[in-house]
A and B are shown apart, each in its own frame.
Chain A
Amino acid sequence: GENVEQHPSTLSVQEGDSAVIKCTYSDSASNYFPWYKQELGKRPQLIIDIRSNVGEKKDQRIAVTLNKTAKHFSLHITETQPEDSAVYFCAAPILTGGGNKLTFGTGTQLKVEL
């Protein structure tokens, strides 16, 4: 079926290093790709998103890249800080007869070590 795969499931980096999380999707019609951050005990919150008419989007230390041909997109966090430690989820809309459904990846637990 249509799904979104996310890797790695856990990622540990040293403070100041970069972190990259990758997702692949199966529905070639998908055209919106958000990334959510969920801190421990909190709700998921959108940190960045990209639409299919662009290949890259940046917001300070975070960026998302999209390769529609290969059907994958990635989250890049530079100069990581302890407050970046959280679970990150990618998502993509799966278009069905009943309407658009946002399908989430299984999450990446990012730990930024001092």
Chain B
Amino acid sequence: DADVTQTPRNRITKTGKRIMLECSQTKGHDRMYWYRQDPGLGLQLIYYSFDVKDINKGEISDGYSVSRQAQAKFSLSLESAIPNQTALYFCATSDPPGGTIDDEQYFGPGTRLTVT
């Protein structure tokens, strides 16, 4: 879905480096999410934001931080990268209709991060 973009698409970095992954969306959605995907572990939620002033920790937030710069932008930072943060990272957005709790999430293309 070209409406949700992620940069970079691939990144190799060294242990201890700070790295930022960026997500932008043109769907006008309020809700944005960061997930991590490891083989055999599905999609694990790192952080999520229901609007610009709202940030919530997910299942695996340790070692990560986020910034919601605008409705359209949600960045994920690894303050000091370590090898076990090597994974595929997905950003997603959603916009549940009024009165419903949840609805379809639209994923970005993913960022493959390797920490050596």
Contacts and interface: CB of A to CB of B under 8 A. Distances in A.
Interface string A14-45: 00000000000000000110100000001111
Helix, strand, loop or mixed for chain A's interface?
Answer: strand
Q: How large is the interface on B (under 10, 10 to 19, 20 to 34, 35 or more residues)?
A: 20 to 34
Interface size class of A (residues with CB under 8 A): 20 to 34
Interface in A86-114: 89, 93, 95, 98-107
A78 interface: no
Contacts of B109: 42-43
A101 B58 contact: yes
A93 B109 CA distance: 23
Given A32-B102, A95-B101, A103 B45 contact: yes
B104 interface: yes
Contacts of A107: 40, 42
Given A43-B110, A99-B50, A93 B102 contact: yes
A46 B42 contact: no
A9 B40 contact: yes
B107 A101 contact: no
A93 B45 CA distance: 12
Given A99-B54, A99-B56, A102-B105, 5 more contacts: A9-B40, A93-B101, A99-B48, A100-B102, A101-B56
Interface of A: 6, 9, 31-32, 34, 42-46, 49, 51, 89, 93, 95, 98-107
